[in-house]
Amino acid sequence: MAICLKVDGDLIREATFLSDICIGSISAASFLTEKVKYLTIAEAAKISSEEIIDELGGLPEQFIHCATLARDTLIKAIMNYHQSGFKESPWKKMYRS
C-alpha cells in the first residue's frame, strides 16, 4: 500500500492511495484518504485504527489488520513529508539532469 499526500503549509489538500492487497485494505485506505483531506498533519496523525473501523461500520475479523495497515501507511507518508524538509516533491528530482 502507498499513500500520497499533497500538503499546503500544514494542511493536507489531497490524499490518494494505491493498494493491490485486498478489499479490506482498499476500504480502509479509501476512507482514510477521504477523511484526512483538509486536516492538518497533526490532526491526521491522531486518527486511530479503531476510528477507521468504527467509521466503516466495522470490518470482518480477517480484515481488522487492514485498518492498522492503512493508518501505518499514512504515518509513513507523514514521516516522509517531514524528512523531506518540506521541500518540493521528491519525484521532481528524478527528472533533473
Cell numbers placing 82: 517531514
Considering its fold, how many domains does the chain have in total?
1
Range of the domain at 52: 24-85
With respect to residue 79, please indicate whether it lies within any of the assigned structural domains: yes
With respect to residue 70, please indicate whether it lies within any of the assigned structural domains: yes
- For 38-76, write each residue's pLDDT tens digit: 999 999 999 999 999 999 999 889 989 999 999 999 999
- For 4-41, write each residue's pLDDT tens digit: 999 988 899 999 998 877 888 999 999 999 999 999 99
With respect to residue 14, please indicate whether it lies within any of the assigned structural domains: no
With respect to residue 19, please indicate whether it lies within any of the assigned structural domains: no
Give the domain CATH number at 67.
Answer: 3.90.1010.10
Asked whether the beta carbons of 1 and 21 are under 8 A apart, the reply is yes
Q: How far apart are CA 1 and CA 72, in angstroms?
A: 10
With respect to residue 47, please indicate whether it lies within any of the assigned structural domains: yes
pTM over 0.85: no
